Structure 1
Amino acid sequence: MRRFPWPRASVPIMLTMLTMLAACAPADEMPSAARTGPVSVVKTVDMPAPSVAAQPDLMATPDGALLLSWVEPMGEAGHRLRFSRLAAGAQGWDAPRTIAEGTGWFVNWADTPHIYAMPDGSLWAHWLRSTGPARMDYGIDLVRSGDGGATWSAPQLVHPSGTPGDHGFVTFWPQARDRLGIAWLDSRQKAADGAHAHHDDGHHGAGAPMMLRAALYDAEAKQGAEWPLDTSTCDCCTTSSAMTDRGAVVVYRGRGEGEIRDTRIVRFDGERWTTPRDVHEDGWQIAGCPVNGPVVVAEGGTVWVAWYTEADGMPELRAARSQDAGDSFDAPVTLAKGTQVLGRLGLARGDGHLVVAWLEQSPDEQQVLVLARHDERWGQAQRTEVARLSARGRASGIPRVQWHAGAAWLAWTDVDGDAPRMKGARVTFTR
């Protein structure tokens, strides 16, 4: 398993108090809010995955359904990537279907598979597999299904075959009704510099930097154009993308001179990409990768980005809004701040709400999954404690959040003893 560095291991841990509303409700529902404010209701969701599953992904589809994918260990047979569909208005998940299975996969807590639904009804998915002799030689396998996931195309590597080093941290977007956009972090220039084993040094800062690349795929699952977007990025922070009325935007953590690792954005108008620019110049200097990437959603020309930083010496979640498709951003606002904040953000938008999910850690080292609802100006914040986790450290992975059927849906990994267990919740807002 990939051992990403965690630079805050020695930070003291505390938990800010959450305001809770005591009210009568079924055993699996937990109202949470200030007494005079809006009421949120957290309802446990039964998951279609087996108890050993982990690495969840959530996707709200163009036809109003919700997709959930996960990875199952199969012992000596390797791993299996599966998914289930919750149709609009349905009471339960469809029977799980298998996307792929096999040995030689590269499975870890942060760089996880994704599933994606396109406007033409096709499904796309990816996972990571080992591609060379070194531990960190692994690549991105991409597949497409045109029949709802019953069958899938043969897996193909996104990057050139035989390219040493690591390739991952994928994000998808719909470049057209039947054309997929994909961006990822790529270490080919690091490998060419002779430092592709850089993760073993524990700092993710040696040698040439990682880069951000992108490509387009057509309805035949064939790669068209492919570009380098940024030749100096953080090594292992998640990426995120969204569609604006001026094209796709991709956000990621850059790596600037003096090891400044702030959030950057690029936009694609269908022909060319913009030059990378900072969402905000935090000035966070860190000689290592925090494994804590930014997230983005968009509507028309408005873009909302949320990210983690320690630029002021304290863990903090910031967010900013652009009203010109990412050309410029308002001054950032603080969503959460304090030594309890772990980050690992999720962001979703729906019905005029912005919802942000993240992890915090309590004084007894118990992790807490938090969801905050905001209006589209990042105002009127409403904070809800979704769940208290038994997991510690990396075992909880990265929570996922999507807006579906008038509610925020979340999926995350917890543990039952030493074994992972996927869990989920639906959060509704009554007023």
Structure 2
Amino acid sequence: MPRRLLLLLAAALAACADAPAPEPDVEPPALADGEVAVPADSGAVAPRLTTGPDGQPVLSWVEPAGDGWALRMARWTGSGWAEPLTTDRGDDWFVNWADTPGVVVQSDGSVLSHTLLRHPGGSTYAYDVGVRTDGERRLLHTDGVAAEHGFVSGVALADGRAGLVWLDGRNQGAGHGHHSGAMTLRYATVGGDSAQTDEVELDARTCDCCPTAMVTTPSGPVVAYRDRSDDEVRDVAVVRQVEGAWTEPAIPHADGWRIEGCPVNGPALAAAGDHVALAWFAGGDSTRVWLSVSGDAGATWGDRVRVDGGAPLGRVGVALLADGSAAVSWLENVGDDAELRVRRVGADGSLRPAVTVATVDAGRSSGVPHVAALGDRALVAWTDSATATVRTAVVSP
């Protein structure tokens, strides 16, 4: 993105720091048109949006298959979704509303899939991460402990491998939750044979079950996650890989949210070059959805800007549009339901009116929506529990 746009955005964000987001001057829009049919069967859940090597969105989801489940994916054609492919299937999967499988599309077009496999003989929350490319499925981690391993985020690396980050409960043993040992954040690379290398611990104490986020930049991968201090403050932290080494965790903006339990509400990242956008939810005395941007691959961050409508549930997503603006998605409480909304923060610092994409269940059945860029528009994916399937729509926030 041109340097002038970065400077304009940074200045505008500083001016808007911590300010409440303005609400539209007009009546909230009706449900956004532009819905795009997803080639998924009934019962599909857990949509994820990522980007292929051609810069086009890729959608993955989980759907019933016989006595088990299948991980399916479809590529964006420019006007809709291509015929879906099955990247993995199994009858021993752990299927959850927040901890979801996904795919990483490599530079050569090959696909790495990651799924959640119940640990043999383990408890409900004892499950492993399985990874598969063209051959045998292997485990992402090497500890062998019957514990929680999940909340995976992955990116394609320039050397042809995939970089994967996950929450690893090996230090919790068979326990689960904040009364057990500490959850950790770990990273490894996976090659075409599904074998992992370079496993490293990035943080020794994190929130137990908040989704992670990861992007790659010319300066190296950037990871965001919810941290956990000794006195139970659970602010969002960032770690970066610089010249092959991982930095110490840093908190771009301290919310001071103290909660004795996991809120299951993780951050989101998007990147275009070294321009990185971070969106996150914060609770406490009042709930907020925040956006902050970095022009140096996450080394420093601009002031945070509030984007919600006053009563957010969180479950955020973020995408960087062609003009350098950010499209932030989140769930907003509206009566007994929730609205999936998208708001655009322009490169000039303007906050456009929020667009309502859909009305969804305010509970867990609506899952965690995702958003991706389509030029200057946004592509949104979510689980619709009313129709028992995955839906997508193109909007112009």
Tell me whether the two structures share a fold, i.e. TM-score over 0.5.
yes
The separation in 1 between residues aligned to 2:192 and 2:89, in whole angstroms, is 23
- Alignment-mate amino acid for residue 306 of structure 1: A
Which structure's relative contact order is higher, taking Cα pairs within 8 Å and 6+ residues apart?
A: 2
Note if 1:268 corresponds to 2:241: yes
Partner residue in 2 for 1:255:
228
Would the alpha carbon gap of residues 381 and 215 (structure 1) be closer, same or farther in structure 2, given more than 3 Å must change? Answer: same
List per-residue Cα deviations over 1:84-140 (Å, max 9, x = no partner): 2222x3x44222221122211100100011122122222111110101322211011
Aligned equivalents of 2:146 and 2:191: distance in 1? 26
- Which residue does the alignment assign to 2:102? 114
**Equivalent position to 1:317, from 260, 277, 289:** 289
Q: Please report how far the alpha carbon of residue 58 of structure 1 lies from its aligned counterpart in structure 2 after TM superposition.
A: 1.5
Counterpart Cα distance in 2 of 1:374 and 1:286? 29
CA distance in 2, matches of 1:325, 1:92: 32
| 2:268 counterpart residue number | 295
Match of 2:328 in 1: 356
Asked whether the equivalents of residues 167 and 208 of structure 2 are also in contact (C-alpha less than 8 Å), the reply is yes
Q: Distance in 2 between matches of 1:428 and 1:59?
A: 19
Provide the residue aligned with 1:141 in structure 2: 130
- Which residue in the other structure is 1:68 paired with? 59
> Take 2:46 and 2:369, find their aligned partners in 1: how far apart are those partners?
9
Which of these residues, 379, 389, 393, is aligned with residue 363 of structure 2?
A: 393
Where does structure 1 lack aligned partners over 5 or more consecutive residues?
1-15, 23-29, 33-40, 145-151, 199-203
CA contact (8 A) 2:333 2:339 kept: yes
Residue 382 of structure 2 corresponds to residue 412 of structure 1? yes
Alpha-carbon distance, 1:61 to partner: 1.4
Q: Using the alignment, how far apart are the partners of 1:21 and 1:62 within structure 2? A: 40
Equivalent residue, structure 1, for 2:212: 239
Deviations 1:45-93 (A, max 9, x none): 1111112211111122121433221111235x11111122222x3x442
Describe the SS at the equivalent of 1:266.
strand
Verify the 8 A CA contact 1:333 1:378 in the aligned structure 2. no
What are the superposed Cα offsets for residues 383-418 of structure 1, whole Å, 9 maximum, x if unpaired? 1111122x24001000111112542111111123xx
Give a deviation string over 1:316-353, Cα, whole Å, max 9, x none: 11122223322222221211253x31010011112123
The SS at the match of 1:395 is helix
Q: What CA deviation, in whole Å up to 9, does each residue of 1:260-301 have, x standing for no partner?
A: 100000001242100111111111110010100011122333
Residues 309 and 332 in structure 2, CA contact (< 8 A), matched pair in contact too: no
Moved more, 276-285 or 327-336: 327-336
Alignment match, 1:147? none
**Which whole-Å CA distance do the structure 2 matches of 1:186 and 1:348 have between them?**
27
- The answer on whether the counterparts of 1:249 and 1:265 sit within 8 Å (CA) in structure 2 is yes
Distance 2:382 2:33 in 1: 14
Matching of residue 422 in structure 1 with residue 390 in structure 2: yes
Report the residue type matching 2:369 in the other structure. Answer: P
209-218 or 401-410: which moved more?
A: 401-410
Which digits, 9 at most, give the CA deviation of each residue in 1:119-168, with x for residues without a partner?
22221111101013222110111111xxxxxxx32211101162220100
Give, as a single letter, the amino acid of the residue that structure 2 aligns with 1:141.
G
Q: Deviations for 1:15-73, whole angstroms, at most 9, x for unmatched residues?
A: x9765579xxxxxxx779xxxxxxxx631111111122111111221214332211112
Distance in 1 (alpha carbons) for counterparts of 2:350 and 2:230: 34
- Give 1:237 deviation, angstroms: 0.4
CA RMSD of aligned residues (A): 2.2
**Residue type matched to 2:179 in 1?**
A
TM-score by length of 1: 0.82
Aligned partner letter, 1:404: L
Deviations 1:213-236 (A, max 9, x none): 000122333222110000000000
SS in 1 for 2:125: coil
Q: Which residue of 2 aligns with 1:102?
A: 90
Paired with 1:269 and 1:220, the residues of 2 have a C-alpha distance of 26
Identity across aligned pairs (percent)?
36
The aligned counterpart of 2:45 is: 54
Distance of 2:292 and 2:55 partners within structure 1: 28
- The separation in 2 between residues aligned to 1:293 and 1:303, in whole angstroms, is 17
- Partner of 2:257, secondary structure, is coil
- Taking the aligned partners of 1:206 and 1:58, their CA distance within structure 2 comes to 33
| Distance (Å, rounded) in 2 between the aligned partners of 1:386 and 1:411 | 10
Partner of 1:149: none
1:179 matches 2:188: no
Aligned to 2:339: 368
Partner of 1:35: none
Per-residue CA distance 1:182-229 (angstroms, 9 max, x = gap): 0000001111xxxx322xxxxx21132100000012233322211000
**Unmatched segments (≥5 aa) in structure 2:** 1-21
Local SS of the residue matching 1:95: coil
Q: Number of residue pairs matched? A: 374
The CA distance in 2 between the partners of 1:343 and 1:248, in whole Å, is 24
8 A contact 1:20–1:31 mirrored in 2: no
Q: So what's the TM-score if we normalise by structure 2?
A: 0.88
Between 1:342-351 and 1:374-383, the stretch displaced more is: 374-383
- Aligned twin of 1:381: 352
